[in-house]
């Protein structure tokens, strides 16, 4: 018999994961058992502000009643049919999500990496069948420090050694150029007539919330148009209100879904979504495109057993409803400005933080120590002790991305915790 202590103490639960699970993550030492809105609780009942939001999957807040309601209702009705048959929620969801984001068609998948793989396949097929590139010659341009997921093909074009090493041989057909460098992209286009697409994150999340110049994303789209290539936006982390607009490619458009796209909107040819598409309940991803691109996909040429399943469809519609109903994009925009203001005040008081950057509620601070140092990790452990959960990325960068349902008062409370913690270190 397993005693209650063994199943309920953080220490024992961490030991279980350590013994029986593959060691593909290095988690902060906290074991979470419950979540509601902007809060999570550990098994001992301590409450924390969640400042990671499962890498921006929980934009709508933990266990949002409307999303959980849709999940429960659909779970009791029909969960999976496979695409061998039609199902009663898929068409509705497809209409909903395409109208919401302004595209003709959607291809539903499950995880983010599958969404990226799907976009790569569509771009290549489009290249051969529409652009007229010779078979197997298609090239997709990607950027240094990119993060698009963990499949064999995706890590093939990563330059993160940890993600790549000893997983070869690697998939061909990708060229990597510096991020935020339109001249480099232009040169690649000059030298390679067989480019079928350019794949980018509008803001590089995993790289440490790297925000490019305002001209970069529109510049990519323009170069793609000039050279008859597809502009592929991976908005898995930046999309769905996280950066203060429905999508990061919306730029400074201050709407929240179902919008008339503003002047700052750069329309991708292929839009990849995941994470918050389900509000953190269930893996749901999607690729959106217009008919002349999506019609290269024919029966049997791509698919997934769970893609477009009834449960996913219902959950995604509820999750996107919440983004609109609660004006999460506007809230992210407003709170983001306050957050960066508060962090800039802190930078004035402490030499330990050198920079805050980000957009909306996707932000990061840079810790004044080498990426090899444990300072950022130690700060995160201390933040945890003070009631706030965040995780370092690339050694000396700490990403701050709370659920977008946060109130202004709560955000100030969080900034107080961060400030107190950092000042304790200095």
Ligand X SMILES: *Cc1c(COP(=O)(O)O)cnc(C)c1O
Binding site for ligand X (CB under 6 A): 55, 111-113, 116, 147-149, 201, 205, 234, 236-237, 274-275
Catalytic, out of 125, 275, 384, 391:
275
CB of 234 to ligand X, least distance (A): 5
Q: How many CB atoms lie within 10 A of CB 263?
A: 7
Catalytic, out of 42, 143, 174, 234:
234
CB of 417 to ligand X, least distance (A): 25
Nearer to ligand X, 78 or 163 (CB): 163
Does the annotation count 234 as an active-site position?
A: yes
Q: Please give the C-alpha separations between residue 208 and each of 204, 211, 355, in angstroms, as whole numbers.
A: 7, 9, 12
Which residue has the closest beta carbon to ligand X? Answer: 112
Nearer to ligand X, 124 or 275 (CB): 275
Q: Name every residue whose Cβ is closer than 8 Å to that of residue 285 and which is 6 or more positions away in sequence.
A: 108, 109, 110, 111, 112, 114, 115, 236, 272, 273, 274, 277
Nearer to ligand X, 108 or 415 (CB): 108
Does the annotation count 165 as an active-site position?
A: no
Nearer to ligand X, 272 or 328 (CB): 272
* Extended strands (E) in 228-387: 230-234, 270-273, 285-289, 353-359, 362-367
DSSP 8-class letter at 130: I
**Sign of the alpha-carbon dihedral angle for 339, 345, 347, 349:** negative
Residue 418, burial from CB neighbour count under 10 angstroms (0-12, 13-18, 19+): buried
CB of 11 to ligand X, least distance (A): 28
Does the annotation count 349 as an active-site position?
A: no
CB of 273 to ligand X, least distance (A): 10
Given the structure tokens 């590089």, which residue do they identify?
Answer: 204
CB of 315 to ligand X, least distance (A): 15
Nearer to ligand X, 25 or 86 (CB): 25
Catalytic, out of 147, 174, 216, 400:
147
Q: Which of 116, 111, 124 is closest to 156 using CA atoms?
A: 116
Q: What are the catalytic residues?
A: 147, 234, 275
């Amino acid at each position: 018999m397993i005693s209650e202590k063994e199943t309920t103490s953080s220490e024992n639960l961490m030991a279980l994961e350590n013994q029986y699970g593959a060691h593909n993550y290095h988690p902060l030492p906290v074991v979470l058992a419950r979540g509601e809105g902007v809060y999570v609780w550990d098994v001992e009942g301590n409450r924390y502000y969640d400042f990671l939001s499962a890498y921006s999957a929980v934009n709508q807040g933990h266990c949002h009643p409307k999303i959980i309601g849709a999940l429960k209702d659909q779970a009791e009705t029909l969960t999976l049919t496979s695409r061998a048959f039609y199902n009663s929620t898929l068409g509705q969801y497809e209409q909903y999500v395409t109208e919401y984001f302004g595209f003709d068609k959607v291809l539903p998948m499950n995880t983010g990496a599958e969404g990226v793989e799907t976009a790569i396949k569509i771009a290549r097929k489009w290249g051969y069948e529409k652009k007229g590139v010779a078979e197997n010659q298609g090239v997709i341009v990607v950027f240094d420090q990119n993060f698009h997921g963990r499949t064999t093909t995706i890590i093939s074009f990563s330059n993160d050694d940890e993600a790549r090493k000893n997983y070869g041989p690697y998939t061909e057909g990708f060229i990597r150029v510096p991020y935020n460098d339109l001249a480099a992209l232009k040169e690649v286009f000059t030298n390679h007539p067989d480019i079928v697409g350019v794949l980018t994150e509008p803001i590089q999340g995993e790289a440490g919330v790297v925000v490019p110049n305002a001209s970069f994303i529109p510049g990519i789209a323009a170069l793609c148009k000039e050279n008859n290539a597809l502009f592929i936006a991976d908005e898995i982390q930046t999309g769905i209100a996280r950066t203060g607009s429905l999508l990061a490619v919306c730029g400074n458009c201050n709407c929240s879904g179902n919008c008339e796209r503003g002047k700052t909107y750069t329309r991708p040819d292929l839009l990849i979504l995941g994470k918050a598409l389900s509000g953190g309940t269930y893996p749901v991803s999607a690729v959106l495109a217009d008919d002349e691109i999506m019609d290269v996909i024919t029966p049997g040429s791509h698919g997934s057993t769970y893609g477009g399943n009834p449960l996913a469809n219902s959950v995604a519609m509820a999750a996107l409803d919440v983004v609109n109903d609660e004006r999460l994009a506007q809230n992210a925009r407003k709170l983001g400005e306050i957050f960066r203001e508060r962090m800039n005040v802190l930078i004035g008081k402490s030499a330990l933080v050198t920079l805050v950057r980000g957009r909306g509620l996707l932000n990061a601070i840079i810790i004044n120590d080498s990426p090899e140092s444990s300072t950022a990790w130690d700060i995160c452990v201390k933040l945890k002790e003070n009631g706030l959960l965040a995780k370092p990325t690339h050694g000396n960068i700490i990403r701050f991305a709370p659920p977008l349902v946060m109130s202004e008062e709560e955000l100030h409370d969080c900034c107080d915790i961060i400030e107190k913690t950092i000042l304790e270190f200095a």
